[in-house]
Structure 1
Amino acid sequence: MNLSEPKDLAALLEALLLASGKPMSIERISELFEEAERPSNAQLRKALEVLEKSCKGRAFELKEVASGYRLQVRARFSPWVGRLWEERPQRYSRALLETLALIAYRQPITRGEIEDVRGVAVNSQIVKTLLEREWIRVVGHREVPGRPAMFATTRQFLDHFNLKNLDELPPLAVLREMEPAPLALDEEDAPVPDALQARADLAAPMQTPDEKPSFRSLLQELDNMESGLKTDFDDLPDEPQTTNRE
């Protein structure tokens, strides 16, 4: 195999990405080569371009997300591919999806600030679930009495929702400003509309490469959201290395 030839190198990268089953950065791919044979970053990117073009007309595609590159099944095949998993995907409440959306668009944000916007207390289990799924993390504490924790999304969140960075979040300008309204005690666990739940079901963790849902699809039926988009992680501390619990 001639690793200086983009086509040969692209075939090798395809094998590595298929075997990995998770996103791989240029730096991580480079580490897999012996020093004497290691391609330059420019050569790796060229080979990835070749691989991307070779996926045209095939059932899978090369996708760049926050943590790197991965091969995944195209979205149009998801209804059939999803039947490979007999276990029913975890169901997400409207309250959880609204909380996640607010963190994504208003980060860093405290639990109290989320409650101010939603007009209802945030169930502790919702925050626990989002932390356990490693979709959010604590990035500091607000310098106010009580020093409440501030939450922000993670790279795992971006990877899961098929995003390269926060710039790719759908704009909120088209959504209405949230109007806080008291909820009955049992409304926190009220059923999510079927169309929204179907999109959330697609977000269940999969052990093989597959197309991830877009965050836009999860927001389409979440009405009354407040605008205010954060577009980068530059002012947040570096994310510590964590173990994937999924």
Structure 2
Amino acid sequence: MARRAKPETTLDAELADLPPELRWREWMGRVEAVIFAASEPVTREVLARVVGRDCNLDLLIADIRDELRGRPYELVTVAGGWRHRTRKAFADAIHAAAGSAPAVRPLSRSESLVLMAIAYFQPIARAELSEFFGKEVSRDLIAGLRALGVIAAGPRSPRPGAPYAFVTTKTFLAQFGFESLRDLPDIEMLEDAGLLGKEKILAGEFPGGFAAAGDGDEGDDRPDAAPEPGGL
């Protein structure tokens, strides 16, 4: 028996029959509802499906953000799209109500160091990371970062054996609050200002944003995880 085709939903995106003010309010409601219902950042292309062709999405988002001032959640730009996020001040209340620890595991110092190096020098293979730090970067540490979804296998390295090089992911951007990799603190400017260099990285001095443990809720207050003997 043939399956019935699902009826297509026709949405009036233009709303030409509405007065301009009511049309704008309806667009605001649609955009906020789509973002609220999504499990990942919503891109401009997706939002454009529910508003008129002449709608300025940037102005619309700005108006939504203005309305959310003073609310316990906000609209943020991450990973090439928009998402709702609870404000940091309410993290303890959320965890207390849920009766559980934060969902995102804080990064150890070793993980933060390796993740920062991957973010700045990607694509980069594990052997290259080991050379950079002067000690072996363990497979377990790389596996842990992959399990968290903040890095993934990228192109093959030209080194003997053609190992995979690693790159950061959209999850990395979302958890650290970056819209794109262009939002990373400029490494050359940091080096010129004496705020970043290999010695500082090895000493665990992170540029702004890299001390975050996940999704902007709270930092890592754990003692530094001890590195493996002879490695990270």
Larger RCO of the pair (alpha carbons < 8 Å, separation 6+): 1
Distance 1:126 1:176 in 2: 22
Mark the runs of 5 or more structure 1 residues left unpaired by the alignment: 182-197, 204-210, 223-246
Structure 1 residues 39-54: aligned runs within 5 Å:
39-40=52-53, 42-54=55-67
| Worse overlay, 11-20 or 113-122 | 11-20
Contact 1:104 1:153 in 2 (8 A): yes
**Structure 1 residue 63, shift from structure 2 partner:** 0.8
Residue 42 of structure 2 corresponds to which residue in structure 1?
24
Contact 2:95 2:101 in 1 (8 A): no
Return the match for 1:132 from 123, 126, 147. Answer: 147
**Structure 1 residue 164, shift from structure 2 partner:** 0.4
| Worse overlay, 172-181 or 159-168 | 172-181
Structure 1 residues 161-240: aligned runs within 5 Å:
161-172=176-187, 173=190, 174-178=195-199, 199-200=212-213, 203=214, 212=216
Please tell me whether residue 154 in structure 1 is matched to residue 175 in structure 2.
no
Q: Percent identity?
A: 25
Contact 1:25 1:69 in 2 (8 A): yes
Say which SS state the counterpart of residue 126 (structure 1) adopts. Answer: helix
Structure of larger gyration radius:
2
**Structure 1 residue 104, shift from structure 2 partner:** 0.8
**Structure 1 residue 149, shift from structure 2 partner:** 1.5
Distance 2:79 2:92 in 1: 25
Query: Structure 2-normalised TM-score?
Result: 0.68
**Structure 1 residue 23, shift from structure 2 partner:** 1.4
Contact 1:3 1:9 in 2 (8 A): no
Contact 1:6 1:46 in 2 (8 A): no
**Structure 1 residue 134, shift from structure 2 partner:** 2.2
Query: Structure 1-normalised TM-score?
Result: 0.65
Distance 1:65 1:141 in 2: 28
Taking a change above 3 Å as real, the CA distance of residues 130 and 39 of structure 1, as seen in their structure-2 partners, is same
State the Cα deviation string for residues 80-102 of structure 1 (Å, max 9, x = none).
Answer: 33333433343533222211111
Distance 2:39 2:29 in 1: 16
Residue 14 of structure 1 corresponds to which residue in structure 2?
32
Letter in 1 for 2:163: P
Residue 71 of structure 1 corresponds to which residue in structure 2?
84
State the Cα deviation string for residues 216-238 of structure 1 (Å, max 9, x = none).
Answer: x77xx99xxxxxxxxxxxxxxxx
| Worse overlay, 84-93 or 106-115 | 84-93
Query: What is the aligned-residue RMSD (CA, Å)?
Result: 3.1
Contact 1:52 1:61 in 2 (8 A): yes
Taking a change above 3 Å as real, the CA distance of residues 69 and 113 of structure 1, as seen in their structure-2 partners, is same
**Structure 1 residue 56, shift from structure 2 partner:** 2.0
Say which SS state the counterpart of residue 115 (structure 2) adopts. Answer: helix
Contact 1:118 1:178 in 2 (8 A): no
Distance 1:7 1:104 in 2: 40
Residue 95 of structure 1 corresponds to which residue in structure 2?
110
Letter in 2 for 1:144: R
Contact 2:79 2:178 in 1 (8 A): yes
| Worse overlay, 61-70 or 165-174 | 165-174
Taking a change above 3 Å as real, the CA distance of residues 92 and 159 of structure 1, as seen in their structure-2 partners, is closer
Distance 1:12 1:180 in 2: 45
